[in-house]
Structure 1
Amino acid sequence: MTRKILGLACAALLGSAVPAAAQTSIQAASDVGFAPYSMATMDGSFEGIDIDIAKGMSKYSGIDIKVIQQPWSTTFAGLKAKKFDAMWSAAAITPERAKSMAFLEGYGEAIDAVLQRASDKKIKTIDDLQGKTIAINKGSSADAWLTERQDKHKITISRFETSPDAVQAVLSGQVDGYMMYQTAAGFASLKNPLLQVSDFVVKKGVSYGYAVNPDNIALRNKLDAALECMKTSGELDAIFKRWTGITPEPNGVTNTPAPGYGEPGATHYEDTPHEPTCG
Structure 2
Amino acid sequence: MSILSSTVKSGVVFAALMTGSAQAGETLDRVRANGVVVDVLVNDYPPFGFINAENQLDGFDVDVGKAFAEKLGVKLKLETPGWETIISGKWAGRWDLAISSATPTEERAKVVNFPVNYYSVPAVLVVNTDEEAIKSIADISGKRVGVGTGSSYEAYINRNFAIPGKAKIEFPFTEVQAVPGDETVNFQNLSLGAGVRLDAIVASLATAQGQINATQKLKVVGEPLFAEPNAVVTDKGDPEWDAEVKRVITELKANGTLAKISEKWFGVDITKYAE
CA distance in 1, matches of 2:88, 2:265: 29
Assess if the C-alpha contact under 8 Å between 2:118 and 2:230 holds in 1: yes
Return the alpha-carbon distance in structure 2 between the equivalents of residues 63 and 243 of structure 1. 24
Q: Distance in 1 between matches of 2:80 and 2:45?
A: 11
- 1:27-80 CA-partner distances (Å, limit 9, x unpaired): 112222223321122433201121010111122221323211111222245653
Q: Which amino acid aligns with 2:179?
A: F
**Bigger CA radius of gyration:** 2
Q: Secondary structure at the match of 2:158?
A: helix
**What is the match of residue 29 of structure 2?**
19
- Give the structure 2 partner of residue 136 of structure 1: 146
Distance 1:76 1:149, change over 3 A: closer
Task: Report if the CA contact (8 A) 1:134-1:158 is conserved.
Answer: yes
Give how far 1:173 is off: 2.4
Aligned to 1:173: 194
Find the counterpart in structure 2 of residue 229 from structure 1: 251
Aligned partner of 1:63 in structure 2 is 74
User: In the superposition, relative to structure 1, how do residues 242 and 119 fare at CA in structure 2: closer, same or farther (>3 Å)?
Assistant: farther
Q: Which amino acid aligns with 1:173?
A: A
Matched with 2:101 is 90
8 A contact 1:160–1:166 mirrored in 2: no
Letter in 2 for 1:200: E
Question: Does the aligned pair in 1 maintain the 2:48–2:60 contact within 8 Å?
Answer: yes
Quote the Cα distance in structure 2 between the aligned partners of 1:126 and 1:81: 41
Is 2:83 the counterpart of 1:72?
Answer: yes
The residue identity in structure 2 corresponding to 1:233 is N
Aligned residue in 2 for 1:195: 218
> Relative to structure 2, which stretch is displaced further, 17-26 or 88-97?
17-26
* Structure 2 counterpart of 1:210: 232
The one-letter amino acid paired with 1:81 is A
Q: What residue number does 1:243 align with?
A: 265
Q: What TM-score do the two structures reach when normalised by structure 1? A: 0.65
CA distance in 2, matches of 1:144, 1:75: 22
Shift of the alpha carbon at 1:233? 3.3
* TM-score, scaled to structure 2: 0.66
Q: CA deviation at 1:239?
A: 3.1
Query: Where in structure 2 are there 5+ consecutive unaligned residues?
Result: 1-23, 161-169
SS at match of 1:70: coil
Matched residue type, 1:135:
V
Look up the match of 1:219: 241
Q: Is the 8 A contact 2:158 2:176 kept in 1?
A: no
Change beyond 3 A, Cα 1:59–1:170? same
Residues 1:241 and 1:119: Cα distance change in structure 2 (over 3 Å): farther
Gaps of 5+ in 1: 1-14, 257-279
Check 1:41–1:229 CA distance in 2 against 1; reply closer, same or farther (3 A cut).
same
Q: CA deviation at 1:133?
A: 5.8
Q: Aligned to 1:149, what secondary structure does the other structure show?
A: coil
Q: Is the 8 A contact 2:102 2:232 kept in 1?
A: yes
For residues 271 and 240 of structure 2, what CA distance do their matches in structure 1 show?
30
CA distance in 2, matches of 1:169, 1:211: 31
Percent identity between matched residues is: 16
TM-aligned CA distance change 1:232 to 1:220, over 3 Å: same
Taking a change above 3 Å as real, the CA distance of residues 238 and 126 of structure 1, as seen in their structure-2 partners, is: farther
